[in-house]
Amino acid sequence: MTQHPHQVGARFTSTAASQQPITITEAHIIERLADASVGAGHAVRVTVIQGGRSKNGFVYDQAALRQIAALLEDTHAYADHSRSEADLQTRSVRDVVGFYHDAEYIAGPAGQPGHVDATLHIFEAANWLWTLINEACTLGRPELIGLSVDLFGAWQVNEATGAKEISAIHTLNSCDVVTRPSAGGAFRRILHAESSLSSLPEGEHPMAEQHNTQTSEITSSPSITPIDAPITSTPAIATQKIDRLREELQRQRCELLLERRLSESILPEPVKSQVRGRFQQRLFEEQELEHELSAALTMMAQLTRDGLVRGHGYEKASITGMVSEAEKVQASFDAMFDLEIDTGRLGNVRGFTSIREAYARVTGDSSLQGGISGSSQLGQLPMSPFGPTGFISEADVTTASFSYLLGSSMNKRLLKDYQAWPAEWMKFVSIAPIRDFKQQSRVRMGAFGSLAIVPEDSPYQSITLGDSAATYVAQKRGNLVPISREAIINDDLHAIKQIPGKLAVAAAYTLAEFVYGFLANNPSIYDGQPLFTTGAPHNNLGAQALSTLALQQGVTAMREQTNFAGKRIGLRPRYLIVPPELEWTSMVVTKSAGVPGSPNNDINPMLGYVQPIVSPQLTSSTQWFLAADPREIDTIEVGFVGGQVNPALFIQDQPMLGLNFTQDVLTFKCRHEYGGATTDFRGLYRGV
């Protein structure tokens, strides 16, 4: 069997060994009554790492586990892993939740590498974490959280199995509390030290058992029955202490029961706080608490039915302030693309300064040896006597996460830039959601003329309405944008950051060209005639350059438009649409108090009459247009498939498909789906 050294810097958590995942079956809280050698706070016995093969492919043998056990003593415990490699040496003091002591290597059965156990001392300042651990173990769900080691070491790749066999552990940076461990890190039992017991004479401990590790189990459904342990020949002082211990144990059981039932309840928070105030710091029976919760629910239901309480929104209790590792990494990607971050929830997030750093942080491949998706094996690493060195990290993000995280931030940037692009065409068109790419039909109903006079004792006369329909079919527009492995290796962040903006401009400009094309190209519409005609049938095409007089003629032409019954409908234009060449002329015509060029300084009746819109998509230097308000009459309709007005960005990141396999290329696809048609000519007028 040959082995070749390779490096992968990934972060690990704690849940797999050998060939099968390790399942921690212990779900009991153990109350240990012993000396308190580490002061105030809380302690929990944990399995830091299981031997064998982790979910991320690293193999920990007996030698590696012994090294980890030796390095673990007094190691810091943090909440979640660091956000980037640069943060390893400058972790915030607010992230520290405790430290490890009494670490030891536990040998496994014959042929098995065993595991590393330690005691995690949790600071009183991290009481939120203690509450989380306590409740998870009480409910029999310790797997909801786990431990993840952050190591610096060396390994070799076994070509026969593909496993990365640990050859040396140089540094243990931290062992952190995370949500999805990968190497077997788990909470086993909770330890409560009681310093007062150290004063008892040897052999008179009320619950003494072998090795001084006395236990009394609390199952996931705690009851409030007293402890009936037999006590014989105990001095008076010891009896008093035992009574106090029993009372304290019952009080703790009550607190656990109270918090568990409140977290499961759908009561609003103010009501929960009221119930908590009644039951905290006292002993009670479970039936008493259940009766109180039931009464509170009945009261809230009655108040809701009577209309006295509305919108209180029963919500499940959740643990606030907990931010996952994936959220932190996504925030760093967002900051890299200059997107706004929720600093109130996430804190001060440092954006990645390079695409190399982002890629290495997510995949752990700090040298980019593994290719974009881990399918190629290019490049070699500097060697140590034990093999290549790098970060061994067991975090809850994977290699496949890189393209998703990058794509998510790029999509946000695309939407931000797209929405910032001027879209004044929306003022004079109607926007509609459509379900599919089938032909869309917009029926134009006819109109009644004047109501007929009905003579005495005569029947009413029936009349019918004619109609016509404007139709269109939505089309799909888009492009593929590849990001090569070379771009990541060359650390070309500037080029990659430009992609969303370029796509946003292209999508916005393409849509604007589509809309203004209805005006500039004078297409045939639903009646088979061009949109703009001189005289019949549309009477909406002038022949003069833009001026105050020409504008007045256009207004008059729109006022004279008639309905199906030949009645004038008195439309008023709301917008003046011009190319860039006529921008200043439109300003003079619509904003001058006097008629421009008038010898007698006549009053300009077009002052503020219409709102100018300048469109760079109009290429004729002489054409100008009037448009009515689409809320008063139909003009142009633009329909978006699925109601998706914004363009969307998609990712092709399967390592065995397409360019990702053949050329080490991540492919991003920009897609925009829409169509449109002129639905009524009467709300539009062209000057030349």
How long, in residues, is the chain? 688
pLDDT-derived band of residue 173, with 50, 70 and 90 as boundaries? confident
Beta strands in 635-687 (DSSP E): 636-641, 648-652, 665-678, 684-686
Decide which of 40 and 594 is more confident. Answer: 594
- Please give the pLDDT value at position 237: 66
The rounded distance, in Å, linking the Cα atoms of 568 and 577 is: 24
Q: What percent of the chain stands above pLDDT 70?
A: 71
Q: Find where tokens 């039936």 sit.
A: 287
Q: What pLDDT is stored for residue 609 in this prediction?
A: 96
Average pLDDT over residues 276-300: 83
Q: What is the mean pLDDT of residues 160-167?
A: 80
Q: Would you say 539 and 685 are in contact if contact means Cβ atoms under 8 Å apart?
A: no
CB 482 within 8 A of CB 677: no
The tokens of 604 are what?
Answer: 């300009």
Which band of pLDDT confidence, cut at 50, 70 and 90, is reported for residue 187? Answer: low
Tokens (6 digits) for 136? 């998870």
What does the pLDDT read at residue 420?
84
Whether the predicted pLDDT of 583 surpasses 90: yes
From residue 267, give the alpha-carbon distance in Å to each of 128, 262, 352: 21, 8, 42
- State residue 640's pLDDT score: 96
Angle at 24 between CA 21 and CA 28, to 5 degrees: 170
Q: Report the distance separating Cα 409 and Cα 649, nearest Å.
A: 10
* pLDDT, tens digit (0-9, with 9 covering 90-100), for 534-574: 999 999 999 999 999 999 999 999 999 998 888 999 999 99
- CB pairs under 8 A, 24+ apart, for 596-601? 596/547, 596/548
Amino acid in position 514? F
**Could you tell me the two tokens for 565?**
């019954």
Residues 6+ apart with CB under 8 A from 466: 446, 564
Residue 328 near residue 346, CB atoms below 8 Å: yes
Q: Are 100 and 177 in contact (CB under 8 A)?
A: no
30's enclosing H/E stretch is strand 29-30
Q: Identify whether the C-beta of residue 666 lies closer than 8 Å to the C-beta of residue 483.
A: yes
- Rounded to 5 degrees, φ, ψ at 91 are -65, 140
477 versus 51: the higher-pLDDT residue is 477
User: For residues 383 and 327, which has the higher predicted lDDT (pLDDT)?
Assistant: 327
pLDDT at 577 over 90: yes
Instruction: Specify the higher pLDDT residue, 294 or 363.
Output: 294
For 648-661, how does the pLDDT look when each residue is reduced to its tens digit (9 = 90+)? 888 765 544 555 54
**H helices, E strands: number in the chain:** 14, 27
Specify the pLDDT at position 367. 56
Residue pair 672/510 in contact by the 8 Å Cβ criterion = yes
Mean pLDDT of 586-615: 91
pLDDT at 14 over 90: no
pLDDT of res. 429: 96
Q: Is the dihedral of CA 682, 684, 685, 688 positive or negative?
A: negative
Query: Do the beta carbons of residue 126 and residue 79 sit within 8 Å?
Result: yes
- Give 114-117 contacts, CB < 8 A, sequence gap 24+: 114/51, 114/62, 114/65, 115/17, 115/47, 115/48, 115/49, 115/50, 115/51, 115/65, 115/184, 116/47, 116/48, 116/49, 116/65, 116/68, 116/69, 116/72, 117/45, 117/46, 117/47, 117/48, 117/188
648 pairs with which residues across the strands? 671
Residue 393, token pair as written in the block: 């990290």
User: Encoding tokens for residue 319?
Assistant: 């643990």
Q: What is the pLDDT of residue 181?
A: 63
Residue 582 · residue 624 · CB < 8 Å: yes
At 675, phi and psi to the nearest 5?
-155, 175
pTM: 0.52
395-450 confidence digits (pLDDT tens): 444 445 677 788 888 888 888 888 888 889 999 999 999 999 999 998 877 666 77
Q: Which of 439, 600, 612, 623 is closest to 517 using CA atoms?
A: 623
DSSP calls for 620-631: -SS--EEEE-TT
Instruction: Determine the Cα–Cα distance for residues 265 and 270; give it in Å rounded to an integer.
Output: 12
Average pLDDT over residues 472-485: 88
Rounded to an integer, the average pLDDT of 348-371 is 71
21 cis-preceded (ω within 30 degrees of 0): no
Q: Looking at residues 587-604, what average pLDDT do you find?
A: 88
pLDDT at 524: 95
Residue 113's pLDDT is what?
A: 80
Average pLDDT over residues 678-687: 96
| Residue 197 pLDDT | 32
Confidence band for 466, pLDDT divided at 50, 70 and 90: low
Residue 82: the pLDDT is 65
- pLDDT of 233 higher than 50: no
For the residues 103-132, what does the mean pLDDT come to? Answer: 85
Asked if residues 336 and 493 have their Cβ atoms less than 8 Å apart, the reply is: yes
Across the chain, mean pLDDT equals 75
> Minimum mean pLDDT among 215-229, 311-325, 438-452, 623-637: which range?
215-229
- pLDDT exceeds 50 at position 581: yes
Q: What pLDDT does residue 185 have?
A: 60
In whole angstroms, what is the distance from residue 517 CA to residue 514 CA? 5
pLDDT digits (tens, 9 = 90+) for 234-273: 456 667 777 777 777 788 888 888 888 887 777 888 888 8
**92 has a pLDDT exceeding 90:** no
What is the tens place of the pLDDT at every residue in 493-544? 777 788 888 888 999 999 999 999 999 999 999 999 999 999 999 999 999 9
CA distance 501 to 414: 6
CB-CB contact of 222 with 139 (8 Å): no
Q: Measured between alpha carbons, how far is 653 from 13 in angstroms, rounded to an integer?
A: 24
CA distance 342 to 339: 10
Residue range 620-644: mean pLDDT, rounded:
95
Higher pLDDT, 419 or 173: 419
What percentage of the chain's residues is helix, strand, coil (to nearest 5)? 30, 25, 45
Give the residue carrying structure tokens 């929104």.
313
Closest alpha carbon to 559 in 587, 539, 544, 575: 539
The average pLDDT across 469-479 equals 93
Q: Give tens-digit pLDDT for 23-33.
A: 333 333 333 33
- Those residues with Cβ within 8 angstroms of residue 587's Cβ, 6 or more apart along the chain or in another chain: 612
Given a cut of 50, is residue 353 above it in pLDDT?
A: yes
Does residue 99 have a pLDDT over 50? yes
HSE of 36, CA atoms in CB hemisphere, 13 A: 13
The pLDDT tens digits for 307-350 are 544 444 333 333 444 666 778 888 888 888 888 888 777 777 88
Strands (E), 126-212: 146-158, 164-178, 186-191
Closest listed residue to residue 398, CA positions, set 3, 5, 11:
11
Q: What percent of the chain has pLDDT over 90?
A: 25
Q: Which of 603, 567, 607, 570 is nearest to 587 (CA)?
A: 607
